[in-house]
Each structure stands twice: as C-alpha cells, then as structure tokens.
Amino acid sequence: MKTSPFSPITNRLWQSGSQCKRLLWYKQRGLKESIPPRPDWRTSVAKHQVHEVARRLFPGGRFAARGESLRNEGTWFDVWLESDRYACRADILVLKDKNKRTVDLYRVKSATRLYDRYLDDVAFQTVCLRAAGFVPDRQFIIHINPAADRPDPDVLFVISEVTDRLNGRLRSIPAKAAALRRLLRQEKEPGRRPGYHCMECGFRSQCWPDEVTEPVFWLPALNDDQQQIIRNREWLDIRQLPDSFPVNQRQALIREVHQNRQPFIHHTLLTDSLSQLRQPLAFLDFEADNPPVPRFQGMKPFGQIPYQFSLLLHDESGQMSGIDYLHRDGSDPRPGLLERLSVLRNHQGSIVVYNHQFERQILSLLAAWSPDDAGWLAGAASRLWDLQEVVQHGVYLPGFQGKYSLKQVLNALYPRFSYGTLTVQSGLDSQYLWNHLIVNGGSETDWQALLDYCRRDTEGMVLVLGKLREWVQGTGNQPD
Ligand code: SF4
C-alpha cells in the first residue's frame, strides 16, 4: 500500500500507535529505516500453520483476491478491507446476508489465552468493516487451547465470542483515529517517547542525539516509574543518570561500569565457581522449536522439540572432539537426536551450558519421552554447569551493553569471533530457517548455516570459559 500521511489508518499502524507517535510519523512519511534486509526465510511458519488449521473450522471457505468485493454468501479468508479512512486484513469473514452486507468476523491468534489487547484489535477491524460498507453482526477470537494434544481444529482452538465486550472500544476509535490522522499530517515531528522499543527502532540514529553512545535502556528491567523519570528528564545516556536516580543492585553495577569505564570482575566468585568444574568437560547447546500446533505424539501447543545439538567433548588428555546432530526433515527428531546424544552415557565430567534451565528442560523432556534413557539423561542434567550464571554474577564489561547473552558476551570478549558473520545469528533465526528448510527444502549451504550457528555457541562457551580462567590465574589481559 502506498505510504503517505494521507493513507488510511491500517491495523498495524493502529496497534503501534500507542508505543511512539514519532515512529509512526517517520514510517508514514516513508523515511528510511536503518535495518538490515530480511531474508525470505525469516517469516513465521508457525503463524501460517495456525491460520491454516483454523481455516479448517470453516469447510467450503475460499480466499478473497485483493480488492475483490464479496458477492456470495459464505466464508471468506484473508479479506483485504480498505476505505478512505481505514484498512485492515480480516482473517475470516462469514457473509451472512449479501444484500444487507451482514458479516461475522473471526480473528485468529497464535496464543494460548485471550489478551485484552486482542479486543482493541478486533474493535479496530469492526470499525474498518463498517467503513468498507459491511454490517458487522458478531465478533469472535479464535485462540489456541493450551490443553490440546493434537492438531485437530476442533481440539486445538477455543472460539470466544467478544461482541458484547467491544462497545466502549468501538465508540472511542473514530476520535482516536482522527487525532492520529492529524498527527501524521502535521509538518513538525512529534516528540520522542523513549523506551526499550527504541533499542529495536530503525530510526534511532536520526531520532536520538549523536552524543548518546551508551543508551540508558541498556539498563535491564527499568520499571514504569524509572522510565517515566527518564522520559521527563530526557536522560538518554546511562552516563547522564545522577546518583540520586533510584536503581536496583544490578542496574547500579551497570551504571557504575559505564560511568567509570571500569570493568567489574569478581575474582573470588569466579575462582570459587571454576573450582566446581569436574573434568573431563563437555560443552552442550540445543536448538529447539516450540510450534503452536502440536506436531508429534505427546506434545502440547508450544511444547519444546529439540532438532539440533552441538557437543564438544574433552578427553582425558585435554583433546577436544565435536559431535553434532541436525534433523533434516519433518519427521520426529527425538529418536535420531537421542541416539547421537547417548555418547553422554559414559561421560562423567561437568557439562558446560549457557542457561541451564533450557538445557535441563530439554533433557527432562527427552527423559519423559524415552523412559529407558531417563537414567543417564538425569545424570547428565545433574552435571550441568551454567556458564551464564557465573558470568552474570562475576563479570560486567561496558561491551556487554546491559546483556549477558552468549552473543553479547562473546562479542565483547572476542570481537573477531562474533556472530555478525553468520547467516543465522540467533535462536529465533535458527528456528525460522529450520522450519523453512523442513517444509521447502534448501541447499547444503542453508543446512550448514544452522550447523555453524549451533557450533558457534559451544565454541563460544569454550572461549568465554578460557577467558575466565585467564583472569582467575592472572595470565590474561584485564579488559578495558
Ligand atoms: S528511537 Fe524511540 S523515540 Fe525515536 S522514533 Fe524510534 S521508538 Fe520513537
């Protein structure tokens, strides 16, 4: 759709309007965002699957072509509605009377509960329907039933009628939309509304002053009151925060490191933590999918299903060997993955992971699925040693930028070994690409991108642990 301050208000624009008006103003004027191009596999296969199953609730429904005016009574999918004031895409419309233009509206959501914000969304679509010449009769939200154990549409979904819950919202939309339209047409850019959303905003370089190099939103878990003070005082850089600004213990530590440019390294804690490691070491990282539509026996919506791991094993002589598993089709990954992981049966040392909760959860899911393997899997779970926990309590460098993810920590300690050169740069990317490949297939280079990412995690753990050892032994350079 053509973007200009005079375009109709879209669903997406309406939803993001509450976050930052300046962002909308930039977007609606077609200003260029500094965000990297998105590869075509980075779309949510999961959302697509939920909609596909939901459509099976309406046998005989058909897709509406863009701009097609609905003439026949019955069910229509993906209907684009546009008037001079509003535009939206309705997931499912049931045209009940073609002369009176009466319709029922169904909104599909890939969540296991009905959130209040969904009502705003349906109210907006109802107003959009009216502006497009329809007479909305009843409105429904279709969301996922958390107890579903199979992808049968009658079991997978809960259908809630929300018609009576929309009234107040419907009344307020025209006035709010008019105010939004005025704002988008004004020549002067609206004020900033700084918040964590700015960290992901592609307009930050043109919105924030150049002098801000250590954004205040690197501080984790700022509460509403703290954020309000920051907005009122326009403190955008951590170094602007005065001592009187109330912070919790972790925020205080991070503020101090950035203000004094002095890294924090707790030698006693690191020494104590490293002394708990038992040789020979293993380094383990899983990648897992959590599809909203249960895929295999015993799974619930959003249940974890591991499809890949990278394991590095030290032998008694200190030599390291690597074992990978990557499932390459749509069948159940658990049998193949478990068989390959069983090299851990005979392993007795510590298993280094980054975020033990996730790896522990995967090991326990595998144990529940295969009781014959529960013994050695429980043994492996009991030997997990969480590197992230140690870093979180023992180290903070300015380069962490408020985060303790392996990606951020590795980038700060070993910039040449960062994830920036990889095709897959996050767990979410990995999930997207894996889902894309098992459905559409791909080249060996695509599969290799998944292997490279998972290996980078285990190799990264080896490097980070090595750096902690150097600091403890006093053999490495102190960071700046
Ligand atoms: S950087 Fe923040 S304040 Fe500026 S436009 Fe983006 S979201 Fe709004």
| 27 C-alpha to ligand 1 centroid (Å) | 11
Query: For 203, phi and psi rounded to 5 degrees?
Result: -105, 5
Closest residue by CA, ligand 1 atom 2? 198
Structure tokens belonging to residue 199: 């960290």
> Could you tell me where in the chain the CATH 3.90.320 domains are found?
9-184
Nearest CA to ligand 1 atom 7: 198
To 5 degrees, how large is the angle CA 429–CA 433–CA 437? 170
3-state secondary structure the chain: CCCCCCCCEEHHHHHHCCCCHHHHHHHHCCCCCCCCCCCCCCCCHHHHHHHHHHHCCCCCCEECCCCCCCCCCEEEEEEEEECCCEEEEEEEEEEEECCCCEEEEEEECCCCCCCHHHHHHHHHHHHHHHHCCCEEEEEEEEEECCCCCCCCHHHHEEEEECHHHCHHHHHHHHHHHHHHHHHHHCCCCCCCCCCHHHHHCCCHHHHCCCCCCCEHHHCCCCCHHHHHHHHHHCCCEHHHCCCCCCCCHHHHHHHHHHHHCCCEECHHHHHHHHCCCCCCCEEEEEEEECCCCCCCCCCCCCCCEEEEEEEEEECCCCCEEEEEEECCCCCCCHHHHHHHHHHHHHCCCCEEECCHHHHHHHHHHHHHHCHHHHHHHHHHHHCEEEHHHHHHHHEECHHHCCCCCHHHHHHHHCHHHCHHHCCCCCHHHHHHHHHHHHHHCCCHHHHHHHHHHHHHHHHHHHHHHHHHHHHHHCCCCCCC
pLDDT at 27: 84
Q: Whose CA is nearest to atom 5 of ligand 1?
A: 23
Report which ligand 1 atom has the smallest distance to the Cα of 201: 6
Closest-lying ligand 1 atom to the alpha carbon of residue 20 = 8
Q: What is the pLDDT of residue 321?
A: 94
Distant-in-sequence, close-in-space partners of 53: CB < 8 Å, separation ≥ 6: 151, 153, 156, 157, 293
CB within 8 Å of 304: residues ≥ 6 apart: 288, 289, 290, 361, 362, 365
Q: At residue 9, what is the residue type?
A: I
Q: How far does the centroid of ligand 1 lie from the alpha carbon of residue 19, in Å?
A: 9
Residues with beta carbon inside 6 Å of ligand 1?
20, 22-23, 26, 192-194, 197-198, 201, 203-204, 207-208
Q: Does the ipTM surpass 0.95?
A: yes
Residue nearest to atom 3 of ligand 1 (CA): 192
Q: Which overall architecture, per CATH, does domain 263-480 show?
A: 2-Layer Sandwich (3.30)
Both tokens assigned to 79: 């209907």
Considering the chain, tell me which residue range(s) the CATH 3.30.420.10 domain(s) occupy: 263-480
Ligand 1 atom nearest to CA at 26: 5
Q: Which atom of ligand 1 is nearest to the CA of 194?
A: 3
Q: Which of 13, 16, 20 to mutate to test the pocket of ligand 1 (most atoms within 8 A of CB)?
A: 20
**pLDDT tens digits in sequence order for the chain, 480 residues long:** 445 556 788 888 887 767 788 988 988 887 878 766 666 666 677 788 899 999 999 999 999 988 788 889 999 999 999 999 999 999 999 999 999 999 999 999 999 999 999 999 999 999 999 999 999 999 999 999 999 998 999 999 999 999 999 999 999 999 989 988 898 889 999 999 999 999 999 999 999 999 999 999 999 999 999 999 999 999 999 999 999 999 999 999 999 999 999 999 999 999 999 999 999 999 999 999 999 999 987 789 999 999 999 999 988 777 899 999 999 999 999 999 999 999 999 999 999 999 999 999 999 999 999 999 999 999 999 999 999 999 999 999 999 999 999 999 999 999 888 888 899 999 999 999 999 999 999 999 999 999 999 999 999 999 999 999 999 998 866 665
Judge contact between 437 and 328, C-beta under 8 A.
yes
Q: Which CATH number fits domain 9-184: 3.10.450, 3.90.320, 1.10.3470, 3.30.310?
A: 3.90.320
- Between the CA of 213 and the centroid of ligand 1 the distance, in Å, is 15
Q: Tell me which residue has its CA closest to atom 4 in ligand 1.
A: 207
Residue of 22, 33, 212, 231 best suited for mutating to test ligand 1, as the one with most atoms within 8 Å of CB: 22
Q: Identify the pLDDT of residue 194.
A: 95
List of residues 6+ apart from 337 with CB closer than 8 A: 306, 307, 308, 309, 325, 327, 366
Atom of ligand 1 nearest to the CA of 193: 3
What the block records as the tokens of 450 is: 């998944």
State the distance from the centre of ligand 1 to the C-alpha of 88, rounded, in angstroms: 24
